[in-house]
Amino acid sequence: MAHQAHSYHMVDPSPWPIFGAAAALLTTSGLIMWFHYSSTTLLTMGLLSMLLVMLQWWRDVIRESTFQGHHTPTVQKGLRYGMILFITSEAFFFLGFFWAFFHSSLAPTPELGGQWPPTGVKPLNPLEVPLLNTAILLASGVTVTWTHHSITEGNRKQAIHALTLTILLGFYFTALQAMEYHEASFSIADSVYGSTFFVATGFHGLHVIIGSSFLTVCLLRLIKFHFTPNHHFGFEAAAWYWHFVDIIWLFLYMSMYWWGS
Amino acid sequence: MGTWGAAQQHGKASAPVTHRAGGGGRTWRALSLLGALPAVALCMANVMLQQRHHRPARPTFVPYHHLRIRTKPFPWGDGTHTLFHNPRTNALPSGYEQ
């Protein structure tokens, strides 16, 4: 019987990478068909295949790790590097939108009335719902840390409670933001103010939804005994991502909601 | 797989490890339940109190050129309503709908 003489994971051949690439192609070309030719067929196919690839690829990672034991400390180290690099790339993604915001708001053009917020734009009061949203995300950062300590200490009941609380706070944030989007007196089409505000907060909201989904998967795995006090990297990755989402919100709040009002 | 057995019997964070100041499930549980969640509740109360004031009259419509930009129709509906359009607070380029 052959054994490997190293601690790395040589993954079995898998169709998900090429299918993921195909899903990306379908989605991007689908967006073009929707924007320019009013057809949603390709886009629907793209989003559906993207969802299926994600579910099956990550299901396979869980099988390889939790059930087949391929995630040695060496493999886990690689995953840690990977998640850190990914989050770093996301930070640069948001950096671009913050650059755009400061480019337009530090020197408002005459077309905007030479002021920021532009003439005719009534910004949201940063001390109402945005402040509540800040408290919600900060609180969820505390509860996710409580979750982590509970997992490390082998306290199953508290870990489940704490993670559930974290996810509920995330849902509450999303619901409040959706309501704010509907109630705002300005829209994305209202000068560069609307563009920068809704693109930056919109992508942030998408990341909150992604983070909440990641945490929900962790909750299901937690309930099904996938994690041990010493080995629970899936949860750690979700927690890192969640803290990142929180930090991006803090920058959004300070710059666009507070300084920009 | 999991080693929940021993800690499970106690029903609280009482794993027998040496106490680390500032760490531990008990500390973060306290911070969550006595700090973070009450802060959220306070902010909720603040919002509700502030929103008790009557809705301010919506601003008069002025057809500014830098607002309500429609370079290209939106790919949904009639192409002139934004995704989160609110008929009460959002005017179209031609004015309020209501």
Where are the domains positioned within chain A? 1-70, 72-257
In order of A113, A196, A217, B74, the CA distances from B71 in angstroms are 20, 17, 41, 9
**Which positions in chain B touch A130 (Cβ < 8 Å)?**
none
Which of A121, A146, A160, A235 is most worth mutating to test chain B (most B CB atoms within 10 A of its CB)? A146
Contact between chains at A145 and B28 (C-beta distance less than 8 A): yes
pTM, full prediction: 0.91
Question: CA-nearest residue of chain A to B30?
Answer: A146
Question: Is B17 among the domain residues?
Answer: no
Q: A146 near B28, Cβ under 8 Å? A: yes
pLDDT, position A82: 98
Question: CA-nearest residue of chain A to B51?
Answer: A128
In sign, the C-alpha dihedral spanning A82, A84, A86, A88 is negative
Examine the pLDDT at B4 and tell me if it is beyond 90: no
How wide is the angle at C-alpha A248 spanned by C-alphas A242 and A253, nearest 5°? 125
Which of B10, B26, B28, B97 is most worth mutating to test chain A (most A CB atoms within 10 A of its CB)? B28
Tens-place pLDDT, residues A165-188: 999 999 999 999 999 999 999 999
Question: Is B94 among the domain residues?
Answer: no
Which of B48, B53, B66, B96 is most worth mutating to test chain A (most A CB atoms within 10 A of its CB)? B66
Question: Is B50 among the domain residues?
Answer: yes
Instruction: Output the six-digit token pair for A181.
Output: 């989007």
> CA A172: distance to chain centroid?
15
Give me the total of CB pairs closer than 8 Å, taking one residue from chain A and one from chain B: 152
- Chosen CATH of A72-257 out of 3.90.640.10, 3.40.1480.10, 1.20.120.80, 3.30.465.10: 1.20.120.80
Contact between chains at B4 and A158 (C-beta distance less than 8 A): no
One pLDDT digit (tens) per residue for chain A, 261 residues: 578 999 999 999 999 999 999 999 999 999 999 999 999 999 999 999 999 999 999 999 999 999 999 999 999 999 999 999 999 999 999 999 999 999 999 999 999 999 999 999 999 999 999 999 999 999 999 999 999 999 999 999 999 999 999 999 999 999 999 999 999 999 999 999 999 999 999 999 999 999 999 999 999 999 999 999 999 999 999 999 999 999 999 999 999 999 999
Contact between chains at A138 and B39 (C-beta distance less than 8 A): yes
Specify the CATH number of the domain A1-70. Answer: 1.10.287.70
> CA B97: distance to chain centroid?
28
Question: Is B35 among the domain residues?
Answer: yes
**Which positions in chain B touch A136 (Cβ < 8 Å)?**
40, 43
Question: Is B78 among the domain residues?
Answer: no
What residue type is B86 in one-letter code?
Answer: N
What residue type is A90 in one-letter code?
Answer: E
Contact between chains at B42 and A135 (C-beta distance less than 8 A): yes
Tokens 């500032």 -> residue: B22
Preceding peptide of A130 cis, ω within 30°: no
Residue B32 lies in domain: 23-55
How near does any CA of chain A get to the CA of B95, in Å? 13
Q: How many domains does chain B have?
A: 1
- CB-nearest to A228 from B3, B7, B44 is B3
Q: Specify the range with the lowest mean pLDDT, choosing from B5-9, B47-51, B52-56.
A: B5-9
Burial class (CB in 10 A: 0-12, 13-18, 19+), A165: buried
How wide is the angle at C-alpha A87 spanned by C-alphas A131 and A194, nearest 5°? 45
Q: B50 near A128, Cβ under 8 Å? A: yes
Question: Is B62 among the domain residues?
Answer: no
pLDDT, position B56: 76
How near does any CA of chain B get to the CA of A114, in Å? 12
